[in-house]
Amino acid sequence: MPRPPSSLGRLLLSDNPSRRILRLPLTTTTTRRKRPSNEPWSTRIMAMSSTPVASSATSSSAVSLFPTQPVDQRYTISETRTVPSHIVRPPYAETGKVPSSFFPERVLIHDDASIQRMRAAAQLARRTLDLACAQAKPGLTTDDLDDMVHSAIIEKGAYPSPLNYAGFPKSLCSSVNEVICHGIPSTSRELQLGDVVSFDVSCYLNGVHGDNCATVIVGDEDDTTGDDDKNTPCDWRGVPYKANFDSDQEKEHLEQARNLVLSTRDALYAAIEMCRPGNCLSDVGAAIHHVADTTGYSTVQKYRGHGIGHQFHCAPYVKHFRNRDRLELQPGMIFTIEPMFTMGSEECFEWEDDWTVATVDGSLAAQFEHTILITRDGPPEILTLP
């Protein structure tokens, strides 16, 4: 695994500089059996064969202990939450129809006033993302977290960007285990120890959107560590990892999940390092793909980052794999980078809800996203840093 770029190394190691991230060796094995993904992971492991099998898709040096296929698509969702009438809404909020003008091919160069508004929207999106990550505890449903995110955004006078975007029914995208992105929060999907869950949080404030995403491992926290112990291994937030395990299977699963999450985040920061004026947009995808190759994971190619501003999704569209896109990065460009890594194949499919995107082979997935601004010289400004 490549070392963190020097200019971004501190950010890459932890959002809490007083902590250090523990790197764990990648492991191989195991057989997946076709069992519903809403079973506790420990129950699923008990039913597994100990005989390794060859992958029928893209090979990986890290295969999950989480056998999650076929997925259970029968989760229930609550009523769509309301937004106070005084909050300014994006054009699609009432009808769910995204105007065709939302997909321009011209790349917007933001002026100083627009950049200031983008900073405010991005910061609100980040604070709300941190809330979702901190509250992701065993026993809570993903709908509980959607309620928290929705309330936090409207309390600040903003609109949750996903809500009714092309008909999306919730304010948060919550993607658990084999779900790569666009997961719909559910009242029947309780989080469990070991779940790998990605939260994509976006908001519309003062006429512009802020957008970011992060992945956490539910319950992988050590409650016995003192706050002053700076040598305790921790996750990207500075939260100490669970140190005592109930079984070897639990330990192996959590170690594999940690490596997936940290490698996906590494890829994001490797890509951000490429975002300097005069560089090419294709440098972003090449950097991400290099991290995927080095760590043995697959990078999802179907979904991409995007320009952002008063429009939620617009040019440039950012590929997270090697490509030949030829666009020179210029000061004032603002776009998202949001790599999605999987433990197995990068192939994916949509559930019957037409939103939830899952891995074909049932392997675990992780995603991280920042909104970044190309500056006049030097590294970019990460608008969604805390």
The residues, any chain, with a CB within 8 Å of residue 89's CB and separated by 6 or more, are 83, 159, 204
Nearest CA to 332 out of 106, 38, 139, 33 is that of 106
Please state the domain extents for the chain: 63-70+112-382
pLDDT at position 75, please?
Answer: 79
Residue ranges for the binding site for a divalent metal cation? 200, 211, 306, 338, 369
Secondary structure class of 347 (helix, strand, coil) = coil
pLDDT at position 72, please?
Answer: 52
Residue ranges for the binding site? 182, 200, 211, 306, 313, 338, 369
Residue ranges for the binding site for substrate? 182, 313
| CATH of segment(s) 63-70+112-382 | 3.90.230.10
pLDDT in tens, the chain (386 residues): 112 222 222 223 334 333 333 333 332 222 222 323 433 333 333 222 222 222 223 333 333 344 443 445 567 999 999 999 999 999 999 999 998 876 667 899 999 999 999 999 999 999 999 999 999 999 999 999 999 999 999 999 999 999 999 999 999 999 999 999 999 999 999 999 999 999 999 999 999 999 999 999 999 999 775 555 667 899 999 999 999 999 999 999 999 999 999 999 999 999 999 999 999 999 999 999 999 999 999 999 999 999 999 999 999 999 999 999 999 999 999 999 999 999 999 999 999 999 999 999 999 999 999 999 999 999 999 999 99
pLDDT at position 103, please?
Answer: 67
C-beta pairs of 125-128 under 8 Å, 24+ apart in sequence:
125/201, 125/202, 125/203, 125/210, 125/211, 125/212, 125/371, 125/384, 126/201, 126/210, 126/212, 126/384, 126/385, 126/386, 127/152, 127/386, 128/152, 128/153, 128/201, 128/203
The residues, any chain, with a CB within 8 Å of residue 210's CB and separated by 6 or more, are 118, 120, 121, 122, 123, 124, 125, 126, 202, 203, 308, 371, 383, 384
Q: Residue 263: what residue type?
A: S
How many CB atoms are closer than 10 A to CB 376? Answer: 8
pLDDT at position 100, please?
Answer: 80
